[in-house]
Amino acid sequence: MKKKITLKQIARELDVSISTVSKALRDSIEISEDTRQKVQAFAKLYNYRPNNIALSLKNRKTKTIGVIIPEIVHHFFSKVIRGIELVANKRGYNVIIGLSNESFDKEVINMQMLANGSIDGFILSIAKETLQQQDYHHFKETINQGMPIVMFDRIVNDIHCDKVIIDDVKGSKNAVSKLLSNGCKNVAIITTKDYVSVGKLRTQGYLEALEDFKITPDTDLILKVDDELVSEDHLESLEKEIEGLFHNNKNIDGVFAVNELYAIIAMKVARNLGMKIPDEIQFIGFTDGVLSKHATPSLTTVNQHGQEMGEKAAGLLIDNLERESEEEQYTTIVIETELVERNSTK
Amino acid sequence: MKKKITLKQIARELDVSISTVSKALRDSIEISEDTRQKVQAFAKLYNYRPNNIALSLKNRKTKTIGVIIPEIVHHFFSKVIRGIELVANKRGYNVIIGLSNESFDKEVINMQMLANGSIDGFILSIAKETLQQQDYHHFKETINQGMPIVMFDRIVNDIHCDKVIIDDVKGSKNAVSKLLSNGCKNVAIITTKDYVSVGKLRTQGYLEALEDFKITPDTDLILKVDDELVSEDHLESLEKEIEGLFHNNKNIDGVFAVNELYAIIAMKVARNLGMKIPDEIQFIGFTDGVLSKHATPSLTTVNQHGQEMGEKAAGLLIDNLERESEEEQYTTIVIETELVERNSTK
DNA sequence: TGTCAACACGAAAACGTTTTCGCCAAGAAT
DNA sequence: ATTCTTGGCGAAAACGTTTTCGTGTTGACA
């Protein structure tokens, strides 16, 4: 087992100074052709690679991006990560991952662990609990210490930083409009409690679409799911709620859900109740994941372009990190959503 | 914007030496109660945190684990990551992610990027291309340089390191036996080309089950899919192949697929051909993902316990990193699979 | 009064780089 | 023969820690 070799060892072996070795390896003009070749040959032989940590310390840059997301077993977030990793790697950066698990405390701890020199900047999407408590001091402090942050998807407006979002309102409005122009008269929405920003915005889009079509919203058709109760394994309560929705409103002929899973479950409930999809009732979900594509019938969804969000976010962050000027000006990139039409709509 | 504060700055402000500050903060007995309190108060005020990079350089440990996986938009791999992150964090480690994208070159480059001091050890699952080329020099070199590796799921036997796997043969054998005891007479298998180790093993399990039931395997019932051709968006060719399988073998009454997607697609094809599931034909897939649970009918699968694999892998690696003794002895942990019965089987 | 332990603190090395500066010798120019 | 350039190299600082090893001051004790 040969341990990693250092400049010092090369210097000792070749009986020159450390400076000479360093310069020779970096093709400095100061070094004679002779010694340069000698050093380079030796380095190659022993497979020398500069120690990254030492470089980071010296340059006060780690060339590493910290990503904090609420959950990784999730199609959307993993797509974002893929996007981040793609451009980060292309531009010579590594990606280090922290999972908040939707918890405020874990989010804070994770940020502290990484903010002490391990990374150059953050890309993150806020945990539900944080949004609920509305405590954003850790973001502010991080930014104050000079570490840039890019937020994506779940953002909060009064933090001053780069952001990558989709136009949730527009995306939902489009989707619901689609249902309405397809002839639906009574479109229900399955959404989350208001504290999750995106749920709120998507509900707004729903309402705007109704307004466009001169329909007065019916609060009975707005189902706000308490997603505390809906874990991966606890879907029964969700099914019950949706069953209730259908039961109390026999005339529902369209459903818009603010995420993929809700839509899939709703379709399942409807099917069990004997409703024909898409003839009697049509469905559209938000977020285009694997489920939508392979469900029966396949689900029409609003594609969020997760990978592109990741790419843009990483681009913004690295641009910021490598920018010379000190002037702080923050950008918000809005990614266009796309309605992917499948068989759950006419 | 107040930049991060260092020991040196504290020392200057308080007019003591750097050593004193360091010791005071670590509650050294050498320092008087007076100065200790003074220093600690000042440090708290300015929110001092030791620079991680400097510590890494000094300790020659980064407390960071490198994870290299072929793909992240994948239920199984993201579950493994979640497991890794869970125990890594609990034990004070960070997780840095590299995606090989199933490419040999990217795998090598990623390992080189991380092996230069950025991390203390690797957890990885081998890229398809690497398995195909059977070039494992980068693993051997990494291990030779004293950096421990833990492989999971897709492993290769002649590399000497810790491993976490499932018993693919046993898992498949169980699944196929289930089909056979459920009354299936002609069970087909949809598998991958042989170079991916797990495909091979799962096929072996299939054959063993047949043997147990005194059935001679029919090569027509073994469909080896060239997964080069099956990308996320290119499923038509796969559907065609499966259609061909059903067409040429009208008597198929059971299908075992070596992954979730193949099983879902096969169910879809069967349904389109008018076959009744599970009455006329039964399905079992491998890997328990979201698709299986929400498919119609829901799919019986072999659960690989991805999160547990991640936890065990991280445990092995950290144990190794923190082990005092130099004796190298490598463990292979075999995770038990579990047949999750749903509605695609009787 | 002189010696010694205990106490409180500082200097410096070390981790592995890069880079600035200074130095010496040799050859060129005057 | 003296001065000036220049090529080639080394010393040392710096990044931010921790830790070992002094060192000076104080008080106690003989």
A266 assigned to some structural domain: yes
CA distances from A94 to A108, B98, B101 (A): 21, 8, 15
Which domain range does residue B91 map to? 63-165+307-335
A55 assigned to some structural domain: no
What pLDDT does A13 receive? 94
- Are residues A28 and A97 located together in one domain of the fold? no
- Rounded to whole angstroms, the Cα distance separating B136 from A260 reads 40
- Are residues A179 and A138 located together in one domain of the fold? no
Q: Residues of A numbered 148-187 whose beta carbons fall under 8 angstroms of chain B's beta carbons: which are they? A: none
Q: What is the pLDDT of residues B153-195, one digit of tens each?
A: 999 999 999 999 999 999 999 999 999 999 999 999 999 887 6
| Residue B158 burial (CB count, 10 A) | 8
Q: Taking all residues of chain B, what is their mean pLDDT, rounded to a whole number?
A: 94
Q: How confident is the model at residue B112 (pLDDT cuts 50, 70, 90)?
A: very high
- Are residues A122 and A218 located together in one domain of the fold? no
Q: Which bases along strand C come within 7 Å of a protein CB atom?
A: 7-12, 14-21
Q: Which residues contact B26 (CB under 8 A, 6 or more apart)?
A: none
What is the CATH classification number for the domain harbouring A238?
3.40.50.2300
**pLDDT tens-place values along chain A, 346 residues long:** 678 999 999 999 999 999 999 999 999 999 999 999 999 999 999 999 999 999 999 999 999 999 999 999 999 999 999 999 999 999 999 999 999 999 999 999 999 999 999 999 999 999 999 999 999 999 999 999 999 999 999 999 999 999 999 999 999 999 999 999 999 999 999 998 876 778 889 999 999 999 999 999 999 999 998 876 666 667 888 899 999 999 999 999 999 999 999 999 999 999 999 999 999 999 999 998 899 999 999 999 999 999 999 999 999 999 999 987 767 789 999 999 999 999 999 8
- Are residues B193 and B287 located together in one domain of the fold? yes
What pLDDT does B234 receive? 74
What pLDDT does A226 receive? 82
What pLDDT does B328 receive? 76
- Are residues B112 and B160 located together in one domain of the fold? yes
Q: What is the pLDDT of residues B240-255, one digit of tens each?
A: 999 999 999 999 999 9
What pLDDT does B198 receive? 83
CB contact B20 to A (< 8 Å): no
- Are residues A186 and A312 located together in one domain of the fold? no
Residue ranges of the alpha helices (H) in B60-156? 75-90, 104-115, 128-133, 137-144
**B2 phi, psi to nearest 5 deg:** -90, 120
Instruction: Tell me if A305 sits within 8 A of A278, measured CB to CB.
Output: no
Say if residue B41's pLDDT is above 90: yes
Q: Which bases along strand D come within 7 Å of a protein CB atom?
A: 7-12, 14-22
What pLDDT does A229 receive? 64
Q: Residues of A numbered 29-48 whose beta carbons fall under 8 angstroms of chain B's beta carbons: which are they? A: 47
Q: Which residues contact B101 (CB under 8 A, 6 or more apart)?
A: B70, B71, B127
What pLDDT does A3 receive? 80
Nucleotide nearest to B35 (CA to C1'): C8
Instruction: Tell me if A144 sits within 8 A of B5, measured CB to CB.
Output: no
- Are residues A173 and A160 located together in one domain of the fold? no
Say if residue B231's pLDDT is above 80: no
Contact B146/A4, CB-based, under 8 Å? yes
**Mutation to test the A interface, candidates B2, B97, B138, most A Cβ within 10 Å:** B97
- Rounded to whole angstroms, the Cα distance separating A314 from A320 reads 10
Total domain count, chain B: 3
A93 neighbourhood in chain B, CB within 8 Å = none
- Are residues A290 and A196 located together in one domain of the fold? yes
A344 assigned to some structural domain: no
Any atom of strand C under 7 A from CB of B326?
Answer: no
- Are residues A217 and A179 located together in one domain of the fold? yes
A2 assigned to some structural domain: no
- Rounded to whole angstroms, the Cα distance separating B47 from B41 reads 10
- Are residues B173 and B293 located together in one domain of the fold? yes
- Rounded to whole angstroms, the Cα distance separating B163 from B160 reads 9
B124 assigned to some structural domain: yes
A21 assigned to some structural domain: yes
- Are residues B192 and B279 located together in one domain of the fold? yes
B180 assigned to some structural domain: yes
**Mutation to test the A interface, candidates B99, B290, B292, most A Cβ within 10 Å:** B290
- Are residues A219 and A299 located together in one domain of the fold? yes
